[in-house]
Amino acid sequence: MAVPENKNLLRALTRQTVTPPPVWLMRQAGRYLPEYRAVRADAGSFLDLCYTPELAAEVTLQPIRRFQLDGAILFSDILVVADGLGRKVTFDEGPKLEPLRDASELESLQPDRVCERAAPVFETVRRVRRELPANTTLIGFAGAPWTVATYMVEGGGSRDFQRVKSWAYRAPESFARLIDVLVDVTSRYLNAQIGAGAETVQLFDSWAGVLPELPFRRWSLEPIRAVIANVHAVHPEVPVIVFARGAGANYEMLAAESGADAIGIDATTPLGWARDHVQSRCAVQGNLDPALLVAGGAALDAEIDRIVATLGRRPFVFNLGHGVLPETPPEHVAQLVARVRKPR
């Protein structure tokens, strides 16, 4: 299936070199925008916002109106899947979950409930798709199995990931059952987003960077590869982006073996290395430091230029190396978009 000429993001993700490169930003809909804060204030809980299509669609579209980005990412949260499985999830300075501590609780998970509970998310996708400008690509997403598992087992964020790692190290067979459940429901959840209108999907493996090489392969890479295979089996034409934070030298393995169409690299990844070891295998997406977007000024322009100069000659999507920070002045985002699109 040919990619429409006006969909720059989709073109780059299907490994075409696009000049200037398409641009979108992780967490482009969020607290740094006053219009987001206004919706958020009226929306009840954070999950209520994710499950209310009218509001979730509105906040998805806000940054597109302001900045005419090439991609609109569905407003939702990676823990919708944990919630759908029947775990208690709340947000209050970060997520809090009822922790899943061992294999005895696996039977209580409700895989068939995930897509049912996520019906409003698919409705959001349909609404956004109807309202998006023709040249804007709609991005669906989910958490990668390892990252969702860490939240489910730790009960929230963690400093050393000792609980989830203990389970994985001591009882890999039962931990694999949790991961298998997540591979299954994540695949179905993403395919349903695509069915509703998502044109590409991104897997967020935010905590891949806490795993040594072999557990990285087993708990990050292999489940991601399985999800991508399940998505491509149903939607072979839909590109999949994998953003694994902190993967370091393991980005090369991810690019070579996951089946991803694009690899999102974090802000610490050296550009020349990414060009030689990742972009040789698939499209690259990244990787401006979000703190530099807060700082702004000439340093921001210079770094944008350096990123585009190094990665822009092959399939590339401009993005941050992590999400937009709440302290970001919106005018810096406008400066970024203009600079990326500057004729060179």
Q: Does 4 bind a second copy (CB under 8 A)?
A: no
What are the helix and strand counts (H, E) for the chain? 17, 9
**C-beta of 75: minimal distance to a second copy in Å?**
21
Q: Which residues are catalytic?
A: 27, 31, 40, 77, 151
Q: Does 211 bind a second copy (CB under 8 A)?
A: yes
Which helix (H) or strand (E) segment is 224 a member of? helix 222-234
Identify the residue among 213, 233, 329, 342 touching a second copy (CB under 8 A): 213
Identify the residue among 95, 145, 197, 290 touching a second copy (CB under 8 A): 290
Query: Which long-range CB contacts under 8 A does 167-173 form with residues at least 24 apart?
Result: 167/102, 168/215, 168/219, 169/215, 171/102, 171/103, 172/218
Q: Does 216 bind a second copy (CB under 8 A)?
A: yes
**C-beta of 85: minimal distance to a second copy in Å?**
25
Number of residues near a second copy (by CB under 8 A): 44
**C-beta of 167: minimal distance to a second copy in Å?**
9
Half-sphere exposure of 67 (CA within 13 A, CB side): 27
Q: Does 303 bind a second copy (CB under 8 A)?
A: yes
Q: Does 210 bind a second copy (CB under 8 A)?
A: yes
Nearer to a second copy, 233 or 249 (CB): 249
Q: Does 170 bind a second copy (CB under 8 A)?
A: yes
Q: Does 269 bind a second copy (CB under 8 A)?
A: yes
Specify the pairing of strand 89-91 against strand 316-320: unpaired
Q: Does 247 bind a second copy (CB under 8 A)?
A: yes
Q: Does 270 bind a second copy (CB under 8 A)?
A: yes
Query: Which long-range CB contacts under 8 A does 56-63 form with residues at least 24 apart?
Result: 56/120, 56/121, 56/124, 57/124, 57/127, 57/128, 57/131, 59/29, 60/29, 60/124, 60/128, 61/128, 61/131, 61/132, 62/29, 62/33, 62/35, 62/36, 63/25, 63/28, 63/29, 63/33, 63/333
Q: Does 321 bind a second copy (CB under 8 A)?
A: yes
**C-beta of 172: minimal distance to a second copy in Å?**
8
C-alpha distance from residue 96 to each of 27, 44, 314 (Å) = 20, 17, 41
Q: Could you list the residues that contact a second copy (CB under 8 A)?
A: 160-162, 165-166, 169-170, 172, 209-216, 246-251, 253, 267-271, 273, 277, 287, 289-292, 294-295, 297, 299, 303, 306, 321, 325, 327
